[in-house]
Protein backbone atom coordinates (compact mmCIF):
# COMPACT_ATOMS: atom_id res chain seq x y z
CA UNK A 1 0.00 0.00 0.00
CA UNK A 2 1.79 3.11 -1.13
CA UNK A 3 0.36 5.61 1.32
CA UNK A 4 0.72 4.33 4.84
CA UNK A 5 -1.22 6.44 7.32
CA UNK A 6 0.62 7.88 10.27
CA UNK A 7 -1.97 6.45 12.60
CA UNK A 8 -1.66 2.95 13.99
CA UNK A 9 0.40 0.70 11.80
CA UNK A 10 0.98 -2.25 14.07
CA UNK A 11 -1.76 -4.84 14.25
CA UNK A 12 -2.36 -5.78 17.85
CA UNK A 13 -2.64 -9.44 18.68
CA UNK A 14 -6.10 -10.76 19.30
CA UNK A 15 -7.38 -7.36 20.27
CA UNK A 16 -10.89 -7.68 19.01
CA UNK A 17 -12.63 -10.93 19.60
CA UNK A 18 -16.23 -11.01 20.70
CA UNK A 19 -16.49 -11.19 24.44
CA UNK A 20 -19.78 -10.44 26.05
CA UNK A 21 -22.19 -9.29 23.39
CA UNK A 22 -23.15 -9.33 19.72
CA UNK A 23 -21.01 -7.33 17.31
CA UNK A 24 -22.22 -5.55 14.23
CA UNK A 25 -19.77 -5.74 11.35
CA UNK A 26 -20.61 -2.84 9.02
CA UNK A 27 -20.06 -3.56 5.32
CA UNK A 28 -18.03 -1.10 3.28
CA UNK A 29 -17.65 -2.21 -0.33
CA UNK A 30 -15.36 -0.01 -2.37
CA UNK A 31 -16.38 -1.66 -5.61
CA UNK A 32 -18.30 -0.69 -8.74
CA UNK A 33 -20.18 -4.00 -8.87
CA UNK A 34 -21.21 -5.24 -5.41
CA UNK A 35 -24.71 -6.64 -5.53
CA UNK A 36 -26.41 -4.05 -3.33
CA UNK A 37 -24.11 -1.07 -2.86
CA UNK A 38 -21.83 -1.31 -5.89
CA UNK A 39 -20.60 2.14 -6.93
CA UNK A 40 -22.00 3.91 -3.87
CA UNK A 41 -18.66 4.38 -2.12
CA UNK A 42 -16.08 4.60 -4.89
CA UNK A 43 -15.13 8.10 -3.79
CA UNK A 44 -12.77 7.59 -0.81
CA UNK A 45 -14.21 10.58 1.05
CA UNK A 46 -17.76 9.30 0.69
CA UNK A 47 -16.60 5.85 1.78
CA UNK A 48 -14.84 7.18 4.88
CA UNK A 49 -17.87 9.29 5.81
CA UNK A 50 -20.12 6.27 5.44
CA UNK A 51 -17.71 4.30 7.64
CA UNK A 52 -17.90 6.94 10.37
CA UNK A 53 -21.70 6.93 10.14
CA UNK A 54 -21.73 3.15 10.60
CA UNK A 55 -19.47 3.45 13.66
CA UNK A 56 -21.77 6.09 15.11
CA UNK A 57 -24.75 3.81 14.51
CA UNK A 58 -23.13 1.03 16.50
CA UNK A 59 -20.83 -0.99 14.24
CA UNK A 60 -18.07 -2.61 16.31
CA UNK A 61 -16.07 -3.61 13.25
CA UNK A 62 -15.98 -2.25 9.70
CA UNK A 63 -15.41 -4.78 6.93
CA UNK A 64 -13.65 -3.13 4.01
CA UNK A 65 -13.67 -4.87 0.65
CA UNK A 66 -12.25 -3.94 -2.76
CA UNK A 67 -13.54 -6.88 -4.80
CA UNK A 68 -17.09 -8.10 -5.19
CA UNK A 69 -17.67 -11.82 -4.62
CA UNK A 70 -21.32 -11.72 -5.65
CA UNK A 71 -22.51 -14.62 -7.83
CA UNK A 72 -21.14 -14.23 -11.35
CA UNK A 73 -18.46 -11.72 -10.40
CA UNK A 74 -14.99 -11.73 -11.95
CA UNK A 75 -11.79 -11.35 -9.91
CA UNK A 76 -9.80 -8.11 -10.21
CA UNK A 77 -6.02 -7.62 -10.06
CA UNK A 78 -4.31 -7.43 -6.66
CA UNK A 79 -3.02 -3.95 -7.57
CA UNK A 80 -6.53 -2.72 -8.29
CA UNK A 81 -7.82 -4.20 -5.03
CA UNK A 82 -5.16 -2.36 -3.00
CA UNK A 83 -5.67 0.82 -5.02
CA UNK A 84 -9.35 0.81 -4.09
CA UNK A 85 -9.04 0.12 -0.37
CA UNK A 86 -5.86 2.06 0.57
CA UNK A 87 -7.23 5.61 0.50
CA UNK A 88 -10.43 4.55 2.24
CA UNK A 89 -8.52 2.89 5.02
CA UNK A 90 -6.43 5.99 5.42
CA UNK A 91 -9.53 8.19 5.44
CA UNK A 92 -11.28 6.12 8.11
CA UNK A 93 -8.27 5.95 10.43
CA UNK A 94 -7.61 9.66 10.01
CA UNK A 95 -11.14 10.32 11.24
CA UNK A 96 -11.34 7.49 13.78
CA UNK A 97 -7.89 6.21 14.77
CA UNK A 98 -9.43 3.56 17.03
CA UNK A 99 -11.75 2.08 14.41
CA UNK A 100 -11.56 -1.70 14.25
CA UNK A 101 -11.39 -2.58 10.57
CA UNK A 102 -11.28 -5.93 8.85
CA UNK A 103 -10.09 -6.45 5.29
CA UNK A 104 -12.32 -8.61 3.10
CA UNK A 105 -9.75 -10.30 0.90
CA UNK A 106 -8.38 -13.74 0.09
CA UNK A 107 -5.05 -12.34 -1.15
CA UNK A 108 -2.02 -12.43 1.13
CA UNK A 109 -0.54 -9.30 -0.47
CA UNK A 110 -3.65 -7.23 0.10
CA UNK A 111 -3.98 -8.51 3.67
CA UNK A 112 -0.34 -7.66 4.41
CA UNK A 113 -0.68 -4.14 3.06
CA UNK A 114 -3.93 -3.58 4.92
CA UNK A 115 -2.55 -4.92 8.20
CA UNK A 116 0.45 -2.62 7.89
CA UNK A 117 -1.94 0.26 7.35
CA UNK A 118 -3.92 -0.47 10.52
CA UNK A 119 -6.47 -3.17 9.76
CA UNK A 120 -6.95 -5.56 12.68
CA UNK A 121 -8.76 -8.59 11.23
CA UNK A 122 -8.74 -10.57 8.00
CA UNK A 123 -12.01 -11.73 6.45
CA UNK A 124 -11.16 -14.52 4.02
CA UNK A 125 -14.14 -15.87 2.06
CA UNK A 126 -11.95 -18.77 0.87
CA UNK A 127 -11.03 -19.83 4.43
CA UNK A 128 -7.28 -19.67 3.65
CA UNK A 129 -7.62 -21.71 0.43
CA UNK A 130 -7.37 -18.80 -2.03
CA UNK A 131 -3.74 -17.87 -1.52
CA UNK A 132 -1.08 -20.19 -0.10
CA UNK A 133 0.56 -17.23 1.65
CA UNK A 134 -2.49 -16.12 3.61
CA UNK A 135 -2.17 -18.41 6.65
CA UNK A 136 1.34 -17.19 7.45
CA UNK A 137 0.27 -13.56 7.04
CA UNK A 138 -2.46 -14.05 9.64
CA UNK A 139 -0.17 -16.07 11.89
CA UNK A 140 2.54 -13.41 11.81
CA UNK A 141 0.08 -10.61 12.46
CA UNK A 142 -1.46 -12.67 15.30
CA UNK A 143 -4.80 -11.19 14.28
CA UNK A 144 -8.29 -12.68 14.17
CA UNK A 145 -9.35 -14.31 10.90
CA UNK A 146 -12.80 -15.09 9.58
CA UNK A 147 -12.95 -18.48 7.83
CA UNK A 148 -15.97 -18.68 5.51
CA UNK A 149 -17.49 -21.65 3.72
CA UNK A 150 -17.99 -21.40 -0.03
CA UNK A 151 -18.85 -24.17 -2.48
CA UNK A 152 -17.21 -23.47 -5.85
CA UNK A 153 -16.11 -19.97 -6.75
CA UNK A 154 -18.09 -16.74 -7.21
CA UNK A 155 -18.23 -16.92 -11.01
CA UNK A 156 -20.14 -20.20 -11.02
CA UNK A 157 -21.12 -21.01 -7.44
CA UNK A 158 -24.86 -20.46 -7.87
CA UNK A 159 -25.13 -22.89 -10.80
CA UNK A 160 -26.94 -25.77 -9.13
CA UNK A 161 -25.08 -26.03 -5.84
CA UNK A 162 -25.44 -29.51 -4.37
CA UNK A 163 -25.03 -31.04 -0.91
CA UNK A 164 -26.09 -34.37 0.56
CA UNK A 165 -26.35 -32.71 3.97
CA UNK A 166 -25.57 -29.02 3.87
CA UNK A 167 -25.35 -28.47 7.62
CA UNK A 168 -22.94 -31.34 8.26
CA UNK A 169 -20.85 -30.57 5.21
CA UNK A 170 -20.47 -26.90 6.09
CA UNK A 171 -19.77 -27.70 9.73
CA UNK A 172 -17.13 -30.32 8.79
CA UNK A 173 -15.51 -27.96 6.30
CA UNK A 174 -15.24 -25.20 8.92
CA UNK A 175 -13.82 -27.64 11.47
CA UNK A 176 -11.19 -28.75 8.94
CA UNK A 177 -10.26 -25.20 7.99
CA UNK A 178 -9.97 -24.25 11.66
CA UNK A 179 -7.63 -27.24 12.13
CA UNK A 180 -5.61 -26.12 9.13
CA UNK A 181 -5.37 -22.60 10.56
CA UNK A 182 -4.29 -23.90 13.96
CA UNK A 183 -1.68 -26.15 12.33
CA UNK A 184 -0.33 -23.04 10.58
CA UNK A 185 0.18 -21.45 13.99
CA UNK A 186 -2.97 -19.30 14.14
CA UNK A 187 -4.19 -19.22 17.72
CA UNK A 188 -7.61 -20.87 18.16
CA UNK A 189 -8.90 -17.78 19.97
CA UNK A 190 -8.25 -15.81 16.78
CA UNK A 191 -10.50 -18.02 14.64
CA UNK A 192 -14.02 -16.95 13.67
CA UNK A 193 -16.15 -19.19 11.44
CA UNK A 194 -18.90 -18.31 8.96
CA UNK A 195 -21.32 -20.62 7.09
CA UNK A 196 -21.10 -18.38 4.00
CA UNK A 197 -24.76 -17.62 3.39
CA UNK A 198 -25.36 -17.40 -0.37
CA UNK A 199 -21.96 -18.74 -1.39
CA UNK A 200 -22.76 -21.83 -3.44
CA UNK A 201 -26.12 -22.31 -1.72
CA UNK A 202 -29.72 -22.25 -2.86
CA UNK A 203 -32.66 -21.04 -0.79
CA UNK A 204 -33.13 -24.36 1.01
CA UNK A 205 -29.42 -24.58 1.82
CA UNK A 206 -29.39 -21.06 3.29
CA UNK A 207 -32.49 -21.76 5.37
CA UNK A 208 -31.16 -25.08 6.64
CA UNK A 209 -27.92 -23.40 7.74
CA UNK A 210 -29.73 -20.60 9.55
CA UNK A 211 -32.18 -23.05 11.13
CA UNK A 212 -29.36 -25.30 12.36
CA UNK A 213 -26.77 -22.66 13.13
CA UNK A 214 -26.26 -24.18 16.57
CA UNK A 215 -24.40 -27.07 14.86
CA UNK A 216 -21.80 -24.53 13.74
CA UNK A 217 -21.85 -22.62 17.02
CA UNK A 218 -21.05 -25.93 18.72
CA UNK A 219 -17.66 -26.03 17.00
CA UNK A 220 -16.65 -23.63 19.75
CA UNK A 221 -15.55 -20.65 17.65
CA UNK A 222 -17.34 -17.31 17.40
CA UNK A 223 -19.76 -17.46 14.46
CA UNK A 224 -20.27 -14.66 11.95
CA UNK A 225 -23.40 -14.54 9.79
CA UNK A 226 -23.54 -12.54 6.57
CA UNK A 227 -27.10 -12.65 5.30
CA UNK A 228 -27.52 -8.91 4.76
CA UNK A 229 -29.76 -8.00 1.80
CA UNK A 230 -28.95 -11.29 0.09
CA UNK A 231 -31.00 -12.74 -2.72
CA UNK A 232 -32.62 -15.51 -0.68
CA UNK A 233 -34.30 -12.82 1.44
CA UNK A 234 -35.78 -11.34 -1.73
CA UNK A 235 -36.95 -14.81 -2.81
CA UNK A 236 -38.90 -15.16 0.41
CA UNK A 237 -40.30 -11.65 0.75
CA UNK A 238 -40.61 -10.70 -2.91
CA UNK A 239 -38.51 -7.58 -2.30
CA UNK A 240 -36.48 -7.31 -5.49
CA UNK A 241 -34.50 -4.17 -4.62
CA UNK A 242 -31.55 -5.35 -2.50
CA UNK A 243 -31.38 -2.10 -0.51
CA UNK A 244 -34.96 -2.61 0.62
CA UNK A 245 -34.36 -6.02 2.18
CA UNK A 246 -33.68 -4.51 5.60
CA UNK A 247 -36.61 -6.08 7.47
CA UNK A 248 -35.84 -9.55 6.15
CA UNK A 249 -32.19 -9.08 7.08
CA UNK A 250 -33.11 -8.07 10.62
CA UNK A 251 -35.10 -11.32 11.00
CA UNK A 252 -31.99 -13.34 10.12
CA UNK A 253 -29.87 -11.34 12.55
CA UNK A 254 -32.18 -11.86 15.51
CA UNK A 255 -32.72 -15.56 14.79
CA UNK A 256 -29.00 -16.16 14.29
CA UNK A 257 -28.22 -14.36 17.54
CA UNK A 258 -30.72 -16.52 19.36
CA UNK A 259 -28.91 -19.59 17.95
CA UNK A 260 -25.57 -18.33 19.27
CA UNK A 261 -23.98 -16.32 16.46
CA UNK A 262 -22.13 -13.26 17.75
CA UNK A 263 -21.00 -11.31 14.69
CA UNK A 264 -23.39 -9.92 12.08
CA UNK A 265 -22.03 -8.59 8.80
CA UNK A 266 -24.65 -6.07 7.65
CA UNK A 267 -25.16 -3.02 5.46
CA UNK A 268 -27.88 -1.42 7.59
CA UNK A 269 -26.19 -0.93 10.92
CA UNK A 270 -28.83 0.94 12.88
CA UNK A 271 -31.71 -1.41 12.14
CA UNK A 272 -29.71 -4.48 13.02
CA UNK A 273 -28.13 -2.85 16.08
CA UNK A 274 -31.49 -1.85 17.54
CA UNK A 275 -32.98 -5.27 16.88
CA UNK A 276 -30.01 -6.96 18.54
CA UNK A 277 -30.20 -4.67 21.54
CA UNK A 278 -33.80 -5.68 22.09
CA UNK A 279 -33.03 -9.35 21.45
CA UNK A 280 -30.15 -9.17 23.91
CA UNK A 281 -32.40 -7.65 26.56
CA UNK A 282 -35.00 -10.36 26.12
CA UNK A 283 -32.55 -13.26 26.08
CA UNK A 284 -30.04 -12.00 28.62
CA UNK A 285 -31.93 -9.60 30.85
CA UNK A 286 -29.23 -9.68 33.51
CA UNK A 287 -26.69 -8.13 31.13
CA UNK A 288 -28.44 -4.82 30.93
N1 LIG B 1 -20.69 -11.93 2.01
C2 LIG B 1 -20.23 -11.12 1.05
C3 LIG B 1 -18.90 -10.67 1.07
N4 LIG B 1 -18.06 -11.03 2.06
N5 LIG B 1 -17.67 -12.21 4.07
C6 LIG B 1 -18.11 -13.04 5.03
N7 LIG B 1 -17.29 -13.42 6.01
N8 LIG B 1 -19.40 -13.51 5.04
C9 LIG B 1 -20.29 -13.19 4.08
O10 LIG B 1 -21.45 -13.67 4.11
C11 LIG B 1 -19.85 -12.31 3.03
C12 LIG B 1 -18.51 -11.84 3.04
C13 LIG B 1 -21.13 -10.70 -0.06
O14 LIG B 1 -21.88 -9.57 0.30
P15 LIG B 1 -21.49 -8.09 -0.12
O16 LIG B 1 -20.15 -7.71 0.40
O17 LIG B 1 -22.59 -7.21 0.32
O18 LIG B 1 -21.50 -8.10 -1.70
P19 LIG B 1 -20.35 -8.20 -2.80
O20 LIG B 1 -19.61 -9.48 -2.62
O21 LIG B 1 -21.11 -8.13 -4.09
O22 LIG B 1 -19.43 -7.03 -2.63
The string of pLDDT tens digits covering residues 217-239 is 999 999 999 999 999 999 999 99
pTM above threshold 0.85 = yes
Query: Which of 76, 102, 125 to mutate for ligand 1's pocket (most ligand atoms within 8 Å of CB)?
Result: 125
121 to 104, 117, 139: CA distances (angstroms): 9, 12, 11
Reduce the secondary structure of 75-128 to three states and give it as a string: CCCHHHHHHHHHHHHHHHHHHCCCCCEEEECCCHHHHHHHHHCCCCEEEECCCC
Assigned architecture for domain 23-282: Alpha-Beta Barrel (3.20)
Bridge partners (DSSP) of residue 104 are: 65, 123
Name the residues annotated as catalytic: 230, 265
C-alpha–C-alpha distance, residues 67 and 224, integer Å: 20
Q: Is the CB of 197 under 6 A from ligand 1?
A: yes
Q: Is the CB of 81 under 6 A from ligand 1?
A: no
Over range 269-281, report the average pLDDT.
96
Based on its alpha-carbon atoms, the radius of gyration of the chain, rounded to whole angstroms, reads 17
Domain boundaries, the chain: 23-282
Q: What is the pLDDT of residue 44?
A: 93
> Which residue, 57, 56, 58, 59, is CA-closest to 27?
59
At 37, the pLDDT band (50, 70, 90 cuts) reads confident
The string of pLDDT tens digits covering residues 76-107 is 998 999 999 999 999 999 999 999 999 999 99
Where is average pLDDT lowest: 38-42, 114-118, 131-135, 240-244?
38-42
CA–chain centroid gap for 77, Å, is: 21
> Which residue, 147, 79, 82, 76, is CA-closest to 119?
82
C-alpha–C-alpha distance, residues 178 and 90, integer Å: 31
Q: For 69, phi and psi rounded to 5 degrees?
A: -120, 20
Q: For 103, phi and psi rounded to 5 degrees?
A: -105, 125
User: Is the pLDDT reported for residue 16 higher than 70?
Assistant: no
Query: Which of 76, 226, 228, 233 to mutate for ligand 1's pocket (most ligand atoms within 8 Å of CB)?
Result: 226
Over range 61-83, report the average pLDDT.
91
The string of pLDDT tens digits covering residues 108-167 is 999 999 999 999 999 999 999 999 999 999 999 999 999 999 998 888 788 889 999 999
User: Is the pLDDT reported for residue 12 higher than 60?
Assistant: no
Amino acid sequence: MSRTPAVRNTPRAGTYLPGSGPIIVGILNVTPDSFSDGGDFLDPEAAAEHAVAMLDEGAGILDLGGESTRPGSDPISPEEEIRRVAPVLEGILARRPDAVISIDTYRAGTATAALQAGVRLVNDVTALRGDPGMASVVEEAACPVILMHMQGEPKTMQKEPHYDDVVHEVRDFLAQRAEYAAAAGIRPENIIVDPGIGFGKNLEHNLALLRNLDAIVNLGFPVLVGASRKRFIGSITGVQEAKERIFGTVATTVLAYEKGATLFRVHDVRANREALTVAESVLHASRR
